[in-house]
Amino acid sequence: MTTADDTRLAMQGTIEALTTGDGSEPVVVNLGPQHPSTHGVFRLKVTLDGEIVQDAEMRIGYLHRSMEKLAEERTYTQNIPFTDRIDYLAAMSNNLAYCLAAEELLGVEVPPRANAIRVMFAELQRVASHAMANGTFINDCGAWHTPLFHMFRDRERVLDMFEMTCGARLTTNYMRIGGVAFDLPDELLPTLEQFLADMPENIANYEALLLENEILHARARGIGVISPEMAINSSLSGPVLRATGVPWDLRKANPYCGYEDYEFDVPVGEQGDCFDRFLVRMAEVKESLRILRQVVDNLPDGPWLADVPLHARPEPGESYARVESPRGELGFYLVSDGGPAPYRFHCRPPSLINLSALKEMSIGGTLADAIVTLGSIDIVVGEIDR
């Protein structure tokens, strides 16, 4: 390299430094793969000018288990446990979405009791997942685990109910093609009644602790803002989309499992910032409790599993079923070639797609804001990487 080249390079560096900031060099910091705030093995590579984020790039794949490939080697029923492991914080929703897709492919009619039980567990799962999401979000804002543990208490009770019903807490494997695996145990309904009786007070406590907390406002308001237009264009879904004010909820827009029979509302935010996402989740928990109340009151009797052959060979074709999982629009796209296993098994992961706009949300904020934004999106790395 000649001296002239050296000079050119130096000058280019100076120009870059002058146009990007106050003449200082940016620092690249890796958040993750092992980092307390990335909720798993997720890596965010941020370029910082001082504390200001200039660029954020995510590197994922640390938890990739090639589930879509594995599923091509297993029968439709055998694939249900995989869906637990895709989003291990909302296993019931994933079970449900997959079963809906398989049922569409097989043309199975689900008995009414099974539908009610599915709604019950999907909503319980939403309560549990939102408790986790909001708790960790406050943690990312820097609280010393207190709200998290309070919300974990509710989540524990939900998981206890899961355990009661299907023997597992996280990887439930409860839904079946054509219904659910087991009927409700006798002790479930009293437990659920008690849970429904206790929750309003708990939620009131959280609201008293958090809603008017000035520090939380300062940390989360106006941070990670995204416009509704951009949110739709980025395919965001779930609370992240609804926080921008777009009232899009598949339970209303495309009711499945008889959601049209229940009375509930879709909370939407206004400004699309982290705090609105938090508030939307808080409000959704209340709506879920409303649905649960109605499910318990109108639980139909009858079979809980349709007569579906375990060794099913669907006709060649394809199906795309979506549910409103706690994280957003969760879809399963199944292609059958008439064989015993899906020819193609694809999951539309809301966590991954909600990250589409992470870069846009974090640039210009500080490092701490980027963490809060990431926390407010509520990612599950199992679902991102699959």
Q: Looking only at residues 68 through 107 of this chain, which bind another protein when binding is defined by CB under 8 A?
A: 68-69, 72-75
Does residue 255 touch another protein according to CB under 8 A? yes
Single out the residue of 1, 5, 23, 201 in contact with another protein (rule: CB under 8 A): 23
Helix (H, G, I), strand (E, B) or coil at 344: strand
Single out the residue of 56, 133, 353, 381 in contact with another protein (rule: CB under 8 A): 353
Q: Which stretch binds another protein (CB under 8 A): 13-21, 94-102, 180-188, 289-297?
A: 13-21
Q: Which stretch binds another protein (CB under 8 A): 81-89, 125-133, 160-168, 349-357?
A: 349-357
Q: Which is nearer to another protein, 66 or 185 (CB)?
A: 66
For the segment 102-161, give every residue that binds another protein (CB under 8 A). Answer: 138-146, 148-150, 153
Q: What is the largest CA-CA distance in the chain?
A: 86
Q: Name the residue among 58, 53, 106 with its Cα closest to residue 79.
A: 106
AA letter at 126: R
Q: Which stretch binds another protein (CB under 8 A): 102-110, 167-175, 290-298, 328-336?
A: 328-336
Q: Write down the least CB distance from residue 239 to another protein, Å.
A: 11
AA letter at 13: G
Q: Write down the least CB distance from residue 13 to another protein, Å.
A: 10
Q: Which is nearer to another protein, 138 or 166 (CB)?
A: 138
Q: Which stretch binds another protein (CB under 8 A): 59-67, 81-89, 91-99, 180-188?
A: 59-67
Q: Which is nearer to another protein, 33 or 303 (CB)?
A: 33
- What is the per-residue burial (b if ≥16 Cβ within 10 Å, else e) of 281-296? bbbbbbbbbbbbbbbe
Q: Write down the least CB distance from residue 15 to another protein, Å.
A: 5
- First and final CA of the chain: distance in angstroms? 46
Q: Which is nearer to another protein, 117 or 372 (CB)?
A: 372
SS3 letters for 17-65?
Answer: HHHHCCCCCCEEEEECCCCCCCCCCCEEEEEEECCEEEEEEEECCCCCC
**Contact of 332 with 363, CB cutoff 8 Å:** no
CB half-sphere exposure, 116, CA atoms < 13 A: 19
For the segment 287-326, give every residue that binds another protein (CB under 8 A). Answer: 311, 320, 322
Single out the residue of 227, 293, 296, 306 in contact with another protein (rule: CB under 8 A): 227
Q: Positive or negative, the Cα torsion across 107, 126, 191, 194? A: negative
What does the DSSP assignment read for 219-256?
HHTTSS---HHHHHHTT--THHHHTTT----HHHHS--
Single out the residue of 198, 233, 300, 307 in contact with another protein (rule: CB under 8 A): 233
Q: Which is nearer to another protein, 112 or 255 (CB)?
A: 255
Q: How far is CA 269 from CA 129, 153, 264, 275, 305, in A?
A: 19, 26, 16, 9, 38
Tokens (6 digits) for 39 = 């909720």
Q: Which is nearer to another protein, 22 or 301 (CB)?
A: 22
For the segment 260-279, give every residue that binds another protein (CB under 8 A). Answer: 260, 265-273, 275-276, 279
* CA 6 to chain centroid: 50
Q: Name the residue among 47, 62, 138, 132 with its Cα closest to residue 362.
A: 47
Q: Write down the least CB distance from residue 172 to another protein, Å.
A: 24
Q: Write down the least CB distance from residue 123 to another protein, Å.
A: 17
Q: Which stretch binds another protein (CB under 8 A): 18-26, 90-98, 158-166, 180-188?
A: 18-26
Q: Write down the least CB distance from residue 186 to another protein, Å.
A: 28
Single out the residue of 6, 11, 109, 298 in contact with another protein (rule: CB under 8 A): 11
For the segment 26-55, give every residue that binds another protein (CB under 8 A). Answer: 27, 29, 35-37, 51
Tokens (6 digits) for 287 = 């709506």
**Contact of 44 with 371, CB cutoff 8 Å:** no
Q: What is the DSSP letter of 326?
A: T
